Every structure is written in structure tokens, then in C-alpha cells.
Structure 1
Amino acid sequence: MTDFKSLGVSNWILAQLKEVGILKPTPVQVSCIPPILDGRDCVGVAKTGSGKTLAFAIPILQTLSEDPYGIYALILTPTRELAFQISDQFNVIGTGMGLRTCVVVGGRDTIMQSKDLDKRPHVVIATPGRLADHIENNSTFSLSKIKYLVMDEADRLLEGGFDGQLSEIISALPKNRQTLLFTATNSPIIGETVSACPNNPHVWECETVGETATVSTLEQRFILTPFEAKNAYLVQLVLETREKKPKDSIMIFTRTCKTAELLERTFIKIGVSCSSLHSMKPQKERMSSLSQFKSNHTKVLIATDVASRGLDIPEVQLVVNHNVPSAARDYVHRVGRTARAGRVGRAVTLVTPTQVGLLQDIEKETKVRMEELSIDDTRVGEIILQVNTTLREVDIELGEQDWDEKKNINKRKKIILEGKNPDQVQMEKEKRIKKRKQASKEKRKKMKKTDGP
């Protein structure tokens, strides 16, 4: 049986792992720790909850303890919550060596962060946008001597949304570093990045991992609903679950921040305790919502896709998709919040008539045929007026508070700073959306022709 000692892990780390009850390495740790300790670049592809963070944290801390200096390692991650989670895990294992970590994310005071960085922490955990700001504006901050660059949820980081920030960050790093990529789903961009790694890269992929793989212990269903009744069906599903299984935790995923906020306020008004997690919330409220849900203080968490990746939430019995995700991989990440570590779980997707094609695309990609879930239509009919009226009231409240005005202003400001015309950018975005919808429509027509009558 493989243990941490046979992987070359130091005695002081072994003692700390034992202290927190971690005695046996997971497959990703068995495969990745030795080559990282040998100085090789590394790619690890494994499901969320499989121990990827310790697969890179242990060798980083071990080599750091042999030659301590700051800033020694940089860990990049796409979301603020994941950055804090990674920092916690580093601090737990590195507690005996006087480890100094610094989390650099949006939503926190920039000047305070600059002061923390000037103290030369050993490990910096950051989201790309805020870190790029510090590189550009903080003349005393340098990443020129780091030994490790880690990209957690690497596929998300590398697929285009962070191109400008990553380019600025990587240009500030030394060439003679180790690059470690860890992700829950593989993608072509990972392979392209690996091919550019100079240090004899080690690549390991869990056999059960695929871009569109779901686990066998997950029950996947859908509810076909008219658009105007969609939220009433959602409320009824939550009420039924709370009545039959009051101890169950429920995550509801929405497409936009505003929908998450609308649903949270609506649920609270109709007497269902819940919290929400999205990028328009202040950072303190985001952390509070996540803590309340993790501690079972609230049983319902309404979130955008900021919560779909990497977060270690011990048990979620039901995941609800308020919308059908446009990509199968996004669906897989969302439903991966439940049925973890061999446990059973349920995923239910609300489908309006115009989204049936998207659901069929997901079924084809995941190779899972979903069955329709029966909901008490009579009870839905009884609550639909109350739900829709409450939603309209909440929408008016948000409008009176100019709730999404700040987001719109920041978007336009960012576009202007990039030297672009925000109105032109919006027009081009609308054209791309229209083009994608048309392509999706044509694809479904071809599929119908191929499948025959």
C-alpha cells in the first residue's frame, strides 16, 4: 500500500497530515507528488474533491522548508472563494513552519493588499485580474524569483477570459520555474500549454475523468415547464424536498447574478431560508453565504457558476439548474457539487420549450438519458400567482436600488480603458450571440435529419 512516506514526503509534513487525519494519499497525490519533488512540470486532471490541492501544496511546502524565501510560489485560480479555500489548506499543512500566505483577490482593499505583499509572503494565492493590477501599479512588488507557478482549474483560466491578465502575469515570472496545472476537466488548451513546458512535464489523468463525464451515483432528471411557470416549479421542487427530506442541502445554479439575487430575495419573502453567492455581492457577504451553507445554517444556496468549480462543500443532496447550461462541461461542473466521494445525489434541470435542444445536446455529450421528474401540478397552480407577484415586487426593489448599475458602469469603464467603444463592443457581442444561436439551431436540425423520423 502506497503511503505519503514512500512518496518522499518529509517527516514534519507527515506529522501534520496525521494531525488533521489525512493518512492515505489519493491517486492524484500518488502520481503527482514525486515528479513535482523531482523538479518536473506537472499536469493533474482529477475530479473535484480528489485531493488536487494537496498534490501541489505538499511538494511546494516541502521544498520551501528546505530553502525558505518569499515570494516562493504563486497559485492562480479563477474565483475568490477558491483562492481562500486553497489558502486555508496551505496554512493547515504549513502551520509548523511559520508559513506566510497572502490572498490577492477583488473585493478587498488594494492598499492593504499591497502592504501584505510588501511583507514578502511565501505563497501568493490570487485571481488573475487583481494580481495583474498589482503588477502594473505596485512598483515594489516582484514575482521575479518564484519557483512555482500553479494554475488551479487551469482549463477555466486558459480558455480566453483571462488572456490579458495572464499575459501580464507570466511576463513578470522567471523562465526557470516549475509550472503545475491542475483541473477537473481536460481540454485542448491544456495540451497546448503542456507542450510549452520545458521541465519534462509529467501528465496524469484519472481514468474516470472526461470533459463530459458524470458519476454513476448521480440521479439526473428534468422538469419541462412553460417559461411563465418556471419559478413556481422551482419553488415547489424546493418545498417538496424540504418537506420530505428537511436535512438535505440544495444548490440552485442560475445564469446571471441578478437572477440569483432575485431568487434569494423571493425565497426569503415566501418563507424559505436561503443565501446566495455571486460576483455582485460584497466579498464579506459572499464568504458569509458560503460559511452558512457549509455549516448547514442555511439549507439552500443560490449561486452563479462561481460556485460550480473547486469549492469543497462536504454534502449537497440536490443540485438544481435554473437554466439549461449552454455547454455540457458547465453542466458537469454544476452537478458535480453532489454525489461526491461515492455518495448518491440528485440533479434536476428546469427546461422551457425553447431549451429542449440544449438538454438533448447535454444528454448526447454526457451519454446519460434523463427522465422527466413528476411535480405536483396542482400545488404549482396554487403558488404560481404568489411566486410571480413576489418576483415582480423584488425586481422593482432592485430597480429602485440601481442594483446592477455599478456592474454596468464598471464594464463600460474597463472597455474604455482598453481603448474600445463600449457601444460597438455591445453590438458585436449581440451579433456573436445571434450567430451562436443560429449555429445551435442548424446543428439541431442536422441531428434530427441524421436521426430520422
Structure 2
Amino acid sequence: MSIDINNFADLKLNSWIVKQCDSIGLKKPTPIQVNCIPRILSGEDCIGCAKTGSGKTLAFALPILQKLCEDPYGIFALVLTPTRELAFQIADQFAVIGKAINIKKSVIVGGMDMMVQGKELAKHPHIVVATPGRLADHLESCDTFSLRKIKFLVLDEADRLLSGHFDEQIRTIFQALPKQKQSLFFSATITDALDQVRQVSPNKIYMWESKDDSGVATVEQLKQHYVLTSNESRDAYLVEVVRTFRNTNEHGSIMIFTDTCKNCQLLCMTLNEVGFTNVALHAMIKQRERLSALSKFKSNLVKIIIATDVASRGLDIPTVELVINHTIPNIPKEYIHRVGRTARAGRGGIAISLVSPYDIKLIHAIEATIGTKLTEYKIDDNEVVTIFTQISVTKREAEIKLDETDFYERKLINERKKMILSGKDPDEEEKKFARKLKKHRRLLKKTNLDTRENRSDVS
């Protein structure tokens, strides 16, 4: 669409929506909004693919709210998203724009009271924003609400939802939906799931994908760097990167991504101990604590958050100026989502990845995917040497403290829950694992004996 659009009114949106956009500082629609909103208003199914920070949420929220205003009832629209934090953020954006029409919304995610959620759903809110697992649980366990009359189905971060991780839950949800509805699919990296998306929708789909001449999958305002390290000194380099950044930027918020819940918790404890106040965000934390941590970070009470990939998608926090990859993700598109937490909506930002010799292939794959080369971020190696012992000892002390908590017990409980949900008997699975471990130890013992005999023969 080559029409010159200067404001939201040009998109044929109602005056009250334009006024609400203006009240939160939104004057001119982004390209994905310009191209997708008219198509959605005209009743078409839609695929929207654009870089992070391009305004995808409002590209589907604004037309849904306009259609809701014309024919208000609940449950009018269902929005599915892969992470709990993103679900709350999407619901907040609906609430802000829909305030003028007293919109009722409900967030249905894991980690919260199912009875409370069930009561909310029974009141038929206009907008339901949900993670697939918890919504599927409600559909299978109660009949106090129905999704048979929804007008809109939205899959936000559609590539992740259709990647295979949620197939069973998605199937349960789709069986509860009407055949006649508008289906909208949005993500920053949706191209690899397009065939699946087309199979899901029975209608002809309008597809819009952000195009630019650079071929770069990340925004121009993002400066992307690497710091060479070793696995042993990775944590010391992390601390020095934060210190170096803080020397020139005292107030910018920092997001640090790592690979596992355990590493996330240990880094949180370690950095807090050495003077960098932070909060952690990972799947082993209770949902209320996760929301509290995110709230403190968003409100600038705490300027550093350490997270797993539960925070890599969709979260819009304008104050984030630095993203650090403590570990490199195995999939390049996850890197795109992580670094997309900064340099959003035209603002600048920095992404720094800690790269060991084992990560070189991953970095090359990322550079090929994003269409740009990472440059070196200079830090003082002598300072790293100076703090190495302190950081190592502090992290070891954190491990001891973590061993004394119920962290690992919660992990085992979560693993048992996953087994039960997948139809497995956790007790039987543990017995299988014990048998495998016993067999492995026998083989290891036999190998050691054979090695000793060979040595004696040689001598």
C-alpha cells in the first residue's frame, strides 16, 4: 500500500481511538499498522511480519477495538501468546486504548488462581488474552464460558505458537472456536511458519512483511557488539561489561539474557552481592513474583533484569538501552527477539554478546541471519583479571545458598507436572531414569576396569 498516511485518522479509525492514541503520544502509524489495519477493518485474515518494536500489537488491537465498538459483546476476541508476561502487556495495551468504551479484558495464564480466572471467564470479558496451556486447561475442566462466538483470533508471536511446542493445547483451543472468524497472525520472525499459518486458516490471507533494502533483520538504530571471553571467565566479563557501560550511562536500563533458570538465579544473586542491584525473571519463579520483578524494572526502581528467554519476546520497555547475551542462543531468531528489547520505536540501543571459542559458529549463523556483522566492544581485560577471583568466589557462594533453598525441589515439581500433562507417569519415568543411570555406571565401571587391565598389560 503506497497511500500516504500521516495520522491514525487516515486509517478510517474512529475519532475516540485516534484521541486515545494521541493521549499516549502516538501521532503517526508505523508501516505495519498502515498496511494491516485497513485490511483487518475490511474483514480479511492477516499475517503481519515486522521487526521488533514496530507496533505490531496496536496493528491488531486498534481494528479489533473499532469492531468491538460497533457490535459490543463478550467474548469478542481471543489473543494467544507464548509467554505470561507478554499476555499481561498485550492486555494492558487493550485496556489503555479501550478505556473510553469501558472494555473488559481477562488474562488467562499459568501460575495464577484457576478459580479466580474461571469466574472472570464466566463474566464474558470482551477480550481474552491467554497462554495456550492454561486456556486449554479451562476448556477441558469447566463449561462456564464459550469461545463459539468470537469474531477475532490473534496469534501473537505466531512462529513460536506454531513451532510444535503448543500443538496439543492449540488443537484443544481450535476445537472450541467457530469456523467463521477473522484470524490474525503477527511476529518479528514469522517467515519460517508461513506454510503452517496458511494451513491453519481456511480463508485467503493477506500477508504483509516489512521490506527494506538493507536485508538486515534488526533495526538500524541498534548497535551490535561482541566481547571475546572464555567459559571460565564469562561471569567476570559480564560484570566488567556492565561496569564499562555504567561509566558512560548511569541511568539506562539493562537486560541480561542467559540460558537456564539456574544460571539466571545464580547471576541474579551474584550481581546483587557485588553491588549491581537487579531482579530475576525465569520460569522457576512464582507468577506474582515474576510480575513484581517486571513491574520494578519497568518503573525504573531496579535498572537491571536478568532473564531467560521467557522475556525475549514482545516486551516493550522504553528505558532498556543495553541488552547483554550472557549466553548465545542456539537459534538465530531467538537472538533477534532478545536484542529487540532495545532500540524500539526509533530509539537507539546497544546489544553486546559474550562470545567464547565454542560460540563462533553460532555467531556466524546469527550474522548471516541478521545481515550484519557484530563489532568488538572494548573493555579493559586487566580489570577482568582483577575481579575474576572475586566474581568466581561470589558465584560459588551463591550456588551453596541456592542448594539450601527449595529451588531444586520446585524444579522437580515442575518436571513432574510436565510429565503428568504429557500423559507420562512421573514415578515410572524416575524408575526408568534410575535404571539407565545404573546401567551407565556399570558400563563406566567396566570401561575403567578394561583401561586398567590394558595399562597393566602394557607395563
TM-score for both structures, normalised by structure 1 = 0.89
Match of 2:265 among 258, 261, 264: 261
**How much does 1:176 deviate?**
0.7
Match of 1:445 in 2: none
Q: Distance in 1 between matches of 2:95 and 2:134?
A: 22
User: Corresponding residue for 2:28?
Assistant: 24
Q: Deviations over 1:58-112 (max 9, x none)?
A: 1111111222111111000111111111111111111121211000011111100
Q: Which residue of 2 aligns with 1:222?
A: 226
Task: Select which of 217, 232, 239 maps to 1:235.
Answer: 239
Deviation at 1:54, TM superposition (A): 1.4
- Residues 1:323 and 1:28: Cα distance change in structure 2 (over 3 Å): same
Deviates more, 1:9-18 or 1:272-281: 9-18
State whether residues 185 and 211 of structure 1, in contact with CA within 8 Å, keep that contact through their aligned partners in structure 2.
no
Listed one character per residue, the Cα deviations across residues 364-407 of structure 1 (whole Å, up to 9, x for unaligned) are 33332223333222221221111111111111111111303222
Is 1:304 the counterpart of 2:304? The answer is no
CA distance in 1 between partners of 2:325 and 2:367 (Å): 14
The CA deviation at 1:8 is: 2.2
1:47 aligns with 2:38: no
Cα distance in 2 between the residues matched to 1:371 and 1:54: 34
State whether residues 233 and 380 of structure 1, in contact with CA within 8 Å, keep that contact through their aligned partners in structure 2: yes
Equivalent residue, structure 1, for 2:457: none
Partner of 1:383: 387
Which residue identity does 2:59 align to in structure 1? A
Counterpart in 2 of 1:334?
A: 338
Q: How many residues align?
A: 428
1:77 and 1:49 mapped to 2: Cα distance? 16
Match of 1:187 in 2: 191
Alignment of 1:360-371 (within 5 A): 360-371=364-375
- 1:396 match: 400
With over 3 angstroms needed to count, the CA separation of the structure-2 counterparts of 1:147 and 1:295, relative to structure 1, is same
Percent of aligned positions with the same letter in both sequences?
53
Distance in 2 of aligned mates of 1:425 and 1:130: 29
Structure 2: gaps of 5 or more residues: 437-459
For the residue of structure 2 that corresponds to 1:94, the secondary structure is: helix
Q: Is the 8 A contact 1:159 1:189 kept in 2?
A: yes
Instruction: Select the residue among 280, 288, 291 that pairs with 2:284.
Output: 280
How much has 1:210 moved relative to structure 2?
A: 10
Q: What aligned pairs does 1:141-220 form with structure 2 within 5 A after superposition?
A: 141-208=145-212, 213-220=217-224
Q: Secondary structure at the match of 1:354?
A: helix
> What do residues 277-310 of structure 1 show as CA deviations (whole Å, max 9, x unaligned)?
1121222222222222222222211111111111
Normalised by the size of structure 2, how large is the TM-score? 0.88
CA distance in 1, matches of 2:56, 2:393: 45
Map of 2:378 onto structure 1: 374
Distance apart, 1:413 and its partner CA: 3.2
Gaps of 5+ in 1: 431-453
Hey, what does 1:321 align to over in structure 2?
325
Confirm or deny: 8 A CA contact 2:261 2:282 kept in the other structure: yes
Structure 2 residue matching 1:228: 3-state secondary structure: coil
Q: In the alignment, which residue of structure 2 is the partner of 1:441?
A: none
* Alignment partners' CA distance in 2, 1:209 and 1:293: 35
2:133 maps to which residue? 129
Partner residue, 1:95: 99
Q: 1:342 to 1:58 in 2, by over 3 A?
A: closer
| 8 Å CA contact 2:256, 2:307 repeated in 1 | yes
Question: After the TM superposition, which residues 59-70 of structure 1 pair with which residues of structure 2 at under 5 Å, given as runs?
Answer: 59-70=63-74
Q: In structure 1, what is the Cα distance between the partners aligned to 2:431 and 2:80? A: 28
Secondary structure in structure 2 of the residue aligned to 1:227: coil
Q: Distance in 1 between matches of 2:231 and 2:352?
A: 16
Larger Rg: 2
Q: Is the 8 A contact 1:186 1:210 kept in 2?
A: no
Equivalent residues of 2:297, 2:304 under 8 A apart? yes
- Deviation larger for 120-129 or 18-27: 18-27
One-letter code of the match for 1:12?
W
Amino acid at match of 2:152: Y
Report the residue type matching 2:345 in the other structure: A
Give, in angstroms, the shift of residue 209 of structure 1: 10
Distance verdict in 2 for CA 1:373–1:12, change over 3 Å: closer
Please tell me whether residue 109 in structure 1 is matched to residue 113 in structure 2: yes
My pick for the range that moved more, 80-89 or 237-246, is 237-246
